[in-house]
């Protein structure tokens, strides 16, 4: 018998067995989200869709906390588009006011999830970030758009902080705010994200947790 | 939209069934495909093929849990794509092209005997899994059906990676014994 036969035979498992495991896979996302996020959503966060202007004036590069979870204290943004549709950013913006003991506000143009399809060599940004930081450019193929007018299957490029955990195929959720962005990347060593979100997420959370959080915020806004 | 409503759209041959399926399960199915293929474009191709296959199979089928039904299709299509891709990689380019052309002359599908054998093996593994603890069963199905990483399994089961590895190792050994006992392995 070849090992491939076992893999093929598993396609004949009863639905009940597959559903049992799938329920656990899905429940983790929901329960973790409820545990760590619902209270925060209610107490500490607000999301307001505004008509086209940014509120944020925070210095996103001023945080010297160099935790391994810090990824995206870097300049971004959409410097590569495969279609002209990519250039149009929604007039709707999401303003997140995050109170983690050191309140900061960010205004999101676009929120989407996608998969890293290409990573360019490391560069050093000396122009808009002081002190200069090393970064790499990642191409992200968009899978689903939660906010904004980007389209699934388009590719965008983002300048990302250096991390050996970032690889082609890594999935992530990206919050784009004017000329900056925040990434949540699901790597083999856990969830990588900006330290500013450490009151909400931990490395053991999954991308599903982030997705649930984002969708909950947007749903609350609709209500 | 509820699964029953989506299935009704398929039964009434309403093309928005595909749209609703993509909306509800696109991300879920892409994850299954990506776990197998590790390539976003191939994963999208697999998921699109899943929609096509679902369109052609509902009716006559009326799945009660659409995620399981669609996931099963995506898994098989992705495995087929993976094998085709790897087969081509292994072969010299011209040889692969020639062989691929000759596939038109023969049946590319599996024989009924192969299918029956796989069904019997699947039923046997199914019975084996029912004898396991839920923890061992779910880590096994998570790893070898959904192809989740050890890390992901450790997250959704709330256990360490080393415990997942140990559990899987023990389950694989127990499965080997079971398959020998059942006559699938000598």
Q: Kind of pairing, strands A92-98 and A104-108?
A: antiparallel
A24-47 mean pLDDT: 47
Q: Which of A24-38, A140-154, A167-181 has the lowest mean pLDDT?
A: A24-38
Q: Quick check: B186 pLDDT over 70?
A: yes
pLDDT of residue B54: 94
pLDDT of residue B9: 93
pLDDT of residue A81: 37
Contact across the interface for B125 and A9, Cβ inside 8 Å: yes
A81-107 mean pLDDT: 51
Q: Output the CA torsion A114→A116→A120→A125 (10° steps).
A: 50
Average pLDDT score over chain A: 66
DSSP character for A129?
S
| B118 → closest Cβ in A8, A117, A204 | A8
Within chain B, where are the H helices? 3-11, 16-37, 40-57, 66-90, 93-102, 112-130, 134-144, 150-157, 161-181
- Residue in B closest to A190 by C-alpha: B151
Q: Which of A189, A111, A177 is nearest to A150 (CA)?
A: A111
pLDDT tens, residue by residue, B123-146: 999 999 999 999 999 999 999 999
Which residues in chain A are contacts of B117 at CB distance < 8 A?
5
**Residue with more model confidence, B41 or B13:** B13
CA distance B165 to B107: 40
Q: Which of A79-83, A204-208, B44-48 has the lowest mean pLDDT?
A: A79-83
pLDDT tens, residue by residue, A184-195: 998 877 888 887
Q: Which of A80-94, B60-74, B146-160 has the lowest mean pLDDT?
A: A80-94
Residue with tokens 């399960």: B25
Is the distance from CB of A51 to CB of B178 less than 8 angstroms? no
Q: Kind of pairing, strands A123-125 and A47-51?
A: unpaired
Which residues in chain A are contacts of B158 at CB distance < 8 A?
28
pLDDT tens, residue by residue, A97-156: 555 555 566 677 788 998 888 887 666 655 555 555 667 788 888 888 888 888 888 888
pLDDT of residue B129: 95
CA distance A106 to A141: 24
Contact across the interface for A141 and B34, Cβ inside 8 Å: no
pLDDT of residue A89: 35
Which pair of structure tokens corresponds to residue A97? 């006011």
CA distance B62 to B7: 7
The SS3 call for residue A105 is strand
pLDDT band, residue A28 (cuts 50/70/90): low
When mean pLDDT is compared over A29-38, A79-88, A107-116, the highest value belongs to A107-116
pLDDT of residue A122: 66
Is the distance from CB of A210 to CB of A173 less than 8 angstroms? yes
Q: Angle between the A15-33 and B150-157 helix axes, to the nearest 10 degrees?
A: 70
Is the distance from CB of A214 to CB of A111 less than 8 angstroms? yes
Contact across the interface for A12 and B119, Cβ inside 8 Å: yes
When mean pLDDT is compared over A89-98, A200-209, B59-68, the highest value belongs to B59-68
Q: Which of B24, B15, B158, B45 is nearest to A202 (CA)?
A: B158
Average pLDDT score over chain B: 86
pLDDT of residue A34: 43
Which residues in chain A are contacts of B40 at CB distance < 8 A?
115, 117, 141, 143, 169
Which pair of structure tokens corresponds to residue A213? 């959080």
The rounded percent of chain A whose pLDDT value lies above 90 is 6
CA distance B99 to B131: 44
The rounded percent of chain B whose pLDDT value lies above 70 is 87
pLDDT band, residue B81 (cuts 50/70/90): very high
Interface test mutation site (partner A, options B122, B129, B154, max chain A beta carbons within 10 A): B122
pLDDT tens, residue by residue, A55-65: 222 222 223 33
**Residue with more model confidence, B164 or A67:** B164
The minimum CA-CA distance between B35 and chain A, rounded to whole Å, is 10
CA distance A124 to A84: 28
Q: Which of A88-92, A176-180, B21-25, B43-47 has the lowest mean pLDDT?
A: A88-92
Q: Quick check: B7 pLDDT over 50?
A: yes
Asked if the interface predicted TM-score (ipTM) of this complex is over 0.85, the answer is no
pLDDT of residue A196: 74
- Residue in B closest to A27 by C-alpha: B156
């Amino acid at each position: 018998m070849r090992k491939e036969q076992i893999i093929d035979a598993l396609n004949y498992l009863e639905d009940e067995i597959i559903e049992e495991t799938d329920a656990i896979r899905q429940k983790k996302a929901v329960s973790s989200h409820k545990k760590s996020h619902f209270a925060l959503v209610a107490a500490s966060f607000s999301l307001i869709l505004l008509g086209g202007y940014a509120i944020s004036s925070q210095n996103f590069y001023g945080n010297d906390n160099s935790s391994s979870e810090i990824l995206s204290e870097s300049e971004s943004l959409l410097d590569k588009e495969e279609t002209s549709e990519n250039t149009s950013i929604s007039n709707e913006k999401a303003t997140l006011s995050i109170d983690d003991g050191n309140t900061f506000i960010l205004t999101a143009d676009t929120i989407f999830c996608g998969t890293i399809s290409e990573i360019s060599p490391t560069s050093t940004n000396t122009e808009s970030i002081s002190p200069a930081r090393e970064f790499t450019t990642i191409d992200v193929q968009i899978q689903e758009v939660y906010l904004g007018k980007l389209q699934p299957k388009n590719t965008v490029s983002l300048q990302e902080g250096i991390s050996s955990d970032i690889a082609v195929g890594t999935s992530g959720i990206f919050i784009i705010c004017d000329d900056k962005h925040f990434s949540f990347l699901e790597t083999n060593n856990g969830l990588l994200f900006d330290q500013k979100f450490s009151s909400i997420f931990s490395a053991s959370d999954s991308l599903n947790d982030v997705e649930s959080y984002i969708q909950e915020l947007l749903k609350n806004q609709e209500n | 939209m509820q699964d029953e409503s989506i299935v009704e759209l398929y039964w009434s041959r309403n093309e928005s069934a595909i749209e609703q399926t993509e909306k509800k399960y696109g991300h879920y199915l892409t994850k299954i495909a990506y776990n197998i293929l590790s390539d976003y474009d191939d994963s999208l191709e697999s998921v699109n093929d899943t929609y096509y296959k679902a369109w052609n199979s509902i009716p006559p089928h009326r799945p009660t849990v659409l995620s399981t039904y669609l996931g099963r299709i995506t898994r098989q299509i992705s495995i087929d794509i993976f094998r085709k891709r790897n087969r081509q990689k292994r072969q010299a380019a011209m040889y692969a092209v020639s062989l691929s052309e000759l596939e038109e002359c023969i049946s590319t599908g599996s024989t009924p005997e192969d299918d029956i054998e796989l069904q019997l093996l699947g039923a046997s593994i199914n019975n084996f899994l029912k004898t396991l603890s839920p923890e061992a069963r779910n880590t096994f199905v998570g790893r070898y059906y959904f192809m989740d990483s050890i890390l992901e399994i450790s997250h959704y089961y709330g256990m360490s990676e080393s415990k997942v590895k140990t559990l899987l190792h023990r389950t694989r050994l127990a499965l080997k014994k079971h398959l020998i006992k059942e006559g699938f392995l000598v």
